[in-house]
Amino acid sequence: MTDLRAEVPGAAPPATAGAPAPGAAPVAPRRRRRLRYGVVGAVFAGAVAFLVSQVGGSLDYFETVDQAVAHRASLGAQTVRLEGLVVPGSVHRDGTGVDFVAAGVHDRVAVHDTGSPPQLFQADIPVVVVGHFTGSGFAAGQIIVDHSATYIEQHPARVRAPNGTTR
């Protein structure tokens, strides 16, 4: 009996149901399975590598106005993402786009954007502009609104009347 029991664990357990019996294991299905896991592993590793490569050498998505102005000479006409606060009163729209001044803590840059500003674009909010420095300022092709994590009621003092109106 002892010998028989010793043989039992060698039998194919349910987890490998359909797998070849010991001693007669066909090599092809095992290779196919290994190949399949290899492909899945390679796809997974590729996805991770792609995501890491998207972040690239710099983990900063943008440079602040102060940082960019500090090494403006080295940037040349290189495309950069520039972050600054839209100075109130500086926004002017015309047929070619929108002009405004982006402010950092110390420096300011005049921006001319030829893209379509997002619906939340307005004065006194931080934005990221994608473009390059020119002789007179910054030429942008895209504005991205960089909103804060502060949420304030638009009309906190107003109350709703029984008839549904606010006052």
Instruction: Provide the binding-site residues for other proteins, judged by CB under 8 A.
Output: 4-5, 7-8, 11-16, 37, 40, 44, 47-48, 51-52, 54-56, 59-64, 83, 117-122, 125, 128, 142-156, 158
Q: Which is nearer to other proteins, 8 or 73 (CB)?
A: 8
Instruction: Output the CA–CA distances (angstroms, integers) from residue 41 to 46, 55, 94, 110, in the order listed.
Output: 8, 22, 53, 49
Distance in angstroms (rounded) separating the CA atoms of residues 144 and 121: 8
Q: Which is nearer to other proteins, 96 or 166 (CB)?
A: 166
Helix (H) or strand (E) holding 86: strand 80-86
Q: Which is nearer to other proteins, 43 or 136 (CB)?
A: 43
Least CB distance to other proteins at residue 33 (A):
8
Residues 136 and 88 sit within 8 Å (Cβ to Cβ): no
Least CB distance to other proteins at residue 142 (A):
8
